[in-house]
């Protein structure tokens, strides 16, 4: 729960107007990835957990890949292992605030 609260805190001060403006801007991009990202959350704050421990909040106002693994260390490790079991061999990790 602490991790989900921290994720929500990242976007709690972003206005609905700012989100709407960002989403409008992103809709003009000629990017299939951006279209898919928008479809995951539909620009809504209440629709951000798109898979177990996968949060799309950053994508509300930031273009490109905007998902984050959220959870306790064991949950995040389990999700990473699931990705690895699917054949993903390379990961790029970053965080907010920047780690």
pTM over 0.85: no
DSSP assigned state of 68? E
**pLDDT tens-place string over residues 1-34:** 899 999 999 999 999 999 999 999 988 988 898 8
Tokens of 51: 């898979």
- Is 41:56 a contact under the CB 8 Å cutoff? yes
Burial 3-15 (b: 16+ CB within 10 A, else e): beeebeebbeeee
CA distances from 16 to 19, 47, 64, 92 (A): 5, 14, 20, 29
- Could you give the residue ranges of the DSSP H alpha helices within 1-99? 2-11, 16-27, 32-41, 73-85
**pLDDT tens-place string over residues 44-58:** 888 899 999 999 998
């Amino acid at each position: 729960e602490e991790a989900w609260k921290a994720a929500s805190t990242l976007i709690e001060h972003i206005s609905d107007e700012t989100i709407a403006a960002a989403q409008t801007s992103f809709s003009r991009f000629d990017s299939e990835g951006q279209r898919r990202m928008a479809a995951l959350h539909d620009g809504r704050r209440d629709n951000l957990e798109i898979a177990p421990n996968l949060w799309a909040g950053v994508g509300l106002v930031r273009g490109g890949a905007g998902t984050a693994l959220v959870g306790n260390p064991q949950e995040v490790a389990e999700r990473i292992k699931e990705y690895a079991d699917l054949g993903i061999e390379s990961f790029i990790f970053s965080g907010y605030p920047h780690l």
